[in-house]
A and B are shown apart, each in its own frame.
Chain A
Amino acid sequence: TQLLEQSPQFLSIQEGENLTVYCNSSSVFSSLQWYRQEPGEGPVLLVTVVTGGEVKKLKRLTFQFGDARKDSSLHITAAQPGDTGLYLCAGAGGGADGLTFGKGTHLIIQP
């Protein structure tokens, strides 16, 4: 069974601060996806990283895939209240059809 350890599980910071969310596994994934979910809604795809060492930027969000494709990070610069939500990392591949999800990071950005 593949496991994806996501940390931190809860984070509450002030507007304007920076933060990093981590996803780590002992398994190799063919790709890793990051989602953001708001209460009562389905997860929305933010980015997919495929290549080891890959870095993708989405405005103030920077996503990195580890060289060995076992870990990933999401860094948010100058967090805004609108960034509040549940962030999920999910790994694909390794013989499974679906995604292996981390437990999620509940992020609260206080004005």
Chain B
Amino acid sequence: GAVVSQHPSRVICKSGTSVKIECRSLDFQATTMFWYRQFPKQSLMLMATSNEGSKATYEQGVEKDKFLINHASLTLSTLTVTSAHPEDSSFYICSASRLSSGNTIYFGEGSWLTVV
């Protein structure tokens, strides 16, 4: 069964609004979670590394004020897309590292964001 869960799986929002995506590790604590963006028929692009209790580390070119990441607990990280634009429409995926499985990284189911 799934060990990392994302919610919502699909969301449609209006331009200019904000939308929050949740990523939960279901049966393990994850001090580190990762957020990716994926365009159609392309590989995953790492956006940021989310560390519990501290600020996220953003990859070059990713606007930290636009993509707000909060990792307030060991089982939950959230990605908030602020002032969304149609070009933010994409598939967003989170992952978490499971220490008990030799640091194997498990992915959530992904969240489709459509900004209209």
- Is the A/B pair a real complex? yes
Residues of A within 8 A of B (CB): 6, 31, 33, 35, 40-45, 48, 50, 86, 88, 90, 92, 97-99, 101-104, 106
A44 touches B107 (CB 8 A): yes
The A/B interface has a contact count, at CB < 8 Å, of 60
B44 touches A98 (CB 8 A): no
A33: shortest Cβ distance to chain B, in Å? 7
Identify the stretch in B12-20, B69-77, B97-105 within 8 Å (CB) of chain A at 4 or more residues: B97-105
Cβ-neighbour of A41 out of B4, B42, B46, B110 (below 8 A): B110
In the complex, what residue of chain B is closest to A43 when comparing beta carbons? B107
**Chain B binding site: helix, strand, loop or mixed by DSSP?**
strand
A45 touches B106 (CB 8 A): yes
- Residues of chain A contacted by B91 (CB below 8 angstroms): 40
In the complex, what residue of chain A is closest to B57 when comparing beta carbons? A97
**Cα(A106)–Cα(B34), bound, Å:** 23
The answer to whether the Cβ of B93 comes within 8 Å of any Cβ in the partner chain is: yes
- Residues of chain A contacted by B112 (CB below 8 angstroms): 40
